[in-house]
Amino acid sequence: MAAATRPLPTSRTTPACPHVLKSLKHSSPPASSFSLPLPSKSSLSNGFFSNQKRLVVQVRSEIKSFENSQNWTIEADSFRFVPNSSSHSSSSLSMAASTSAAKTSKKVCLFYCAETKALAERVASESDSIELRSITWRKFDDGFPNIFIPNAHGIRGQHVAFLASFSSPGVIFEQLSVIYALPKLFISSFTLVLPFFPTGTSERMEDEGDVATAFTLARTLSNIPISRGGPTSIVTFDIHALQERFYFGDNILPCFESGIPLLKNRLQELPDSHNISIAFPDDGAWKRFHKQLQHFPTIVCAKVREGDQRIVRIKEGDPSGRHVVIVDDLVQSGGTLIECQKVLAAHGAAKISAYVTHGIFPNRSWERFEHDNQGHPENGLTYFWITDSCPLTVQQVMFKAPFEVLSLAGSIAATLQI
């Protein structure tokens, strides 16, 4: 027999199903071939090979015959017996797959700021390939940051990420200092995870003299020093104004993710998942999200002017008898969502819920949203889903109906493997 290391030809394949094999013409097995009994389906389902030695065969060419459904012939270069473990073959395959995945996964050192500690811990729990690293955040007597990165030599040659939260101008400068320092520590690559890009939430260039702070922040992030692996990658979710993605320069690689898949998974878990309709509070929300939610019946609302007031009307769609979920990218004061809820309830919605990726809620405006008290949509919401992109909000609304937090941890962990 030939040596076991002889390369296998790729031009021939072995049919796997008996009804395919039966179609092959019968031919006499060559001298170098051997025959194997084909186990029945019941034998396979009952763990036919669980107490046997497993036969590992390197196949050189195609099956020659399948005249009888109980015998088939394989021409092989070599074979060897491998003792089977006490576990079933499916467990062995699972272990092999896990080992293979572990070998190919990218090890990442994840740093975080004080606000994102809880989210960082959830991200690390999603993957054994992510290792949490802490930073010492202190201040000098004059209030300026006094920051230290422990064991800076230990991250040389490593893939490094930083989980940021720019919840206020007061915390941006200290985090930028770290973000600019990490790529210079001879790391293999650097990823900045900024779940909520904050400065463009209500920014409109309407008059000469308006300052585009979103452009300023994007330009600042675009000048993060490159690491040994090249430009920095920035990961953000459902950026408010879609044109802001073009604010970033060529020295950074923006990765734009969405929280909508989390909502879709949650809706599938509801007992009335078959009766869901999606409502958009305005045309902007429809343009942003309707393609991701196109398999749901759609309702589009719009603000119209009546006298000196702007009120919400239903532009298209019918909420009658449906569990209607209002979808938008963010909420601040919540006035538009509440007006949308009222008009949907007036048109016969059975239940009303809401989803936003970023729950900002300045000045505790989340307190305006009441629970519906067992199916009274005119009184409030059945659910109000937000993500943990704004950690300070999560701390305030956790365990308070109707709020429910959908974590971005799994999405972030997956993105760090890119």
Q: Are 152 and 106 in contact (CB under 8 A)?
A: no
Distance, CA of 291 to CA of 55 (rounded, Å): 50
230-241 average pLDDT score: 91
pLDDT of res. 304: 83
pLDDT of res. 202: 54
Q: Which structure tokens are listed for 46?
A: 């009952």
Is residue 193 included in any domain, yes or no?
A: yes
CATH number at residue 188: 3.40.50.2020
Asked if 285 and 308 sit in the same domain, the reply is: yes
pLDDT of res. 272: 96
* 81-97 pLDDT, tens digit each: 333 333 444 455 455 54
* 32-61 pLDDT, tens digit each: 444 444 444 444 444 433 334 344 444 444
Question: Picking from 270-284, 302-316, 323-337, which range would have the lowest pLDDT averaged per residue?
Answer: 302-316
Asked if 274 and 217 sit in the same domain, the reply is: no
Is residue 240 included in any domain, yes or no?
A: yes
Confidence at 31, pLDDT banded by 50, 70, 90: very low
* H or E element that contains 342: helix 335-346
What residue has token string 């690559």? 189
Tell which wins on pLDDT, 195 or 51: 195
* 370-385 pLDDT, tens digit each: 999 877 899 999 999 9
Asked if 138 and 172 sit in the same domain, the reply is: yes
The answer for 184, left when phi > 0, alpha when psi is -120 to 50, beta otherwise, is alpha
Distance, CA of 129 to CA of 131 (rounded, Å): 7
247-263 average pLDDT score: 93
**Residue 123 pLDDT exceeds 70:** yes
Asked if 248 and 334 sit in the same domain, the reply is: no
* 55-72 pLDDT, tens digit each: 444 444 444 444 444 444
Range of the domain at 326: 260-387
**Residue 102 pLDDT exceeds 90:** no
**Residue 17 pLDDT exceeds 70:** no
Confidence at 205, pLDDT banded by 50, 70, 90: low
**Residue 395 pLDDT exceeds 50:** yes
Q: Which structure tokens are listed for 302?
A: 């719009």
Highest mean pLDDT among 40-44, 55-59, 200-204, 309-313: 309-313
Is residue 116 included in any domain, yes or no?
A: yes
**Residue 20 pLDDT exceeds 50:** no
Is residue 13 included in any domain, yes or no?
A: no
Asked if 130 and 221 sit in the same domain, the reply is: yes
Q: How far apart are the first and last CA of the chain?
A: 44
Percentage of the chain modeled with pLDDT above 90? 63
Confidence at 156, pLDDT banded by 50, 70, 90: very high
Asked if 351 and 324 sit in the same domain, the reply is: yes
Helix/strand number for the chain, H first, E second: 11, 18
Asked if 204 and 265 sit in the same domain, the reply is: no
216-237 average pLDDT score: 94
pLDDT of res. 203: 61
Is residue 57 included in any domain, yes or no?
A: no
237-254 average pLDDT score: 84
Question: What is the count of structural domains for the chain?
Answer: 2
pLDDT of res. 87: 41
Tell which of 226, 257, 288 closes a domain: 257
pLDDT of res. 75: 42
- The pTM for the full model equals 0.74
Asked if 119 and 250 sit in the same domain, the reply is: yes
User: What phi and psi, each to the nearest 5 degrees, are found at residue 74?
Assistant: -125, 130
Asked if 271 and 358 sit in the same domain, the reply is: yes
Is residue 156 included in any domain, yes or no?
A: yes
* Average pLDDT of every residue of the chain: 81
pLDDT of res. 8: 47
**Residue 80 pLDDT exceeds 60:** no
Asked if 287 and 326 sit in the same domain, the reply is: yes
Tell which of 235, 257, 279 closes a domain: 257
What residue has token string 């990490």? 182
Asked if 131 and 250 sit in the same domain, the reply is: yes
Is residue 91 included in any domain, yes or no?
A: no
Angle between helices 169-181 and 213-221 (to 10 degrees): 20
Confidence at 12, pLDDT banded by 50, 70, 90: very low
Is residue 307 included in any domain, yes or no?
A: yes
Type of residue at 285: A
The strands making up 276-280's β-sheet, listed across from edge to edge, are 309-316, 298-306, 276-280, 323-331, 351-359, 384-387, 403-406
Neighbours of 143 (CB within 10 A): 8
Pairing relation of β-strands 309-316 and 108-112? unpaired
Asked if 235 and 264 sit in the same domain, the reply is: no
Distance, CA of 269 to CA of 127 (rounded, Å): 24
